[in-house]
Structures are given as structure tokens and as C-alpha cells.
Amino acid sequence: MFFFQTRLLHHKRPLDRLLEEGHVIGAHTHRHPNLSTLQAIDQRREIETSKRQIEKITGQTVKYFRPPFGQFNEDTLNVRSDLKLVMWDVASFDWLFKERP
């Protein structure tokens, strides 16, 4: 399962392989803000934009949502509508590694 910021997604990204291999793409907001700092209307906009763009690009219904930084509040739970909240138990810290192989 992969969660993308949709501002980084577009039709030229190589998503075909992910989909062909059976991976699921979930929503992760459009711009990756800390949702717990936003008003409900702004949270809804971030989540709905992400969901809509992923569905447009992949042709698949988005069913899962992971909040950026694992941060959310009661508003987030209310506005995520039909998306199942997915969290994690281990951080990879991949953002710490600036070098590319």
C-alpha cells in the first residue's frame, strides 16, 4: 500500500507497475499539511482533492487514508467520510536520507 501527496502525482508518474503488482494507492492529502492545525473545511479540501485526483489518475476507488505525520483530530475523523484511517507502528525515517543511490 502506498500513500501519495497528490501535488506530486500526475499522469506521467509510473503508477502502472504499482497497480499491476496489486498495490493499493491511498490518500495522503494534497499538500501534506499537519491536519490537526487546520479547520475542518480545509481538512476536507485536502482529503477530497487527494481522493479525487488519485481516482482520476488510477481509475480505482480510493478506500484508505493516512494523515500526514500521523496527526489528526476529531474534525479529521469527521471529514474523511468513507475512507478507512490507516496508521503505522514503525517509522522508516526515510526522509532523513538526502542522498540518492
| CATH code assigned at 42 | 3.20.20.370
Report the alpha-carbon distance of residue 50 to residue 62 in Å, rounded. 9
Distance of CA 79 to the CA centre of its chain: 14
Say what the pTM is. 0.82
Q: What is the pLDDT of residue 41?
A: 97
Mean pLDDT of the chain, nearest integer: 87
Question: Is 101 inside a domain boundary?
Answer: no
Cite the beta strand spans of the chain per DSSP E: 2-4, 25-27, 64-65, 84-85
Find the domain containing 43 and state its range.
Answer: 2-96
Position 6 in a domain = yes
Q: Who wins on pLDDT, 7 or 91? A: 7
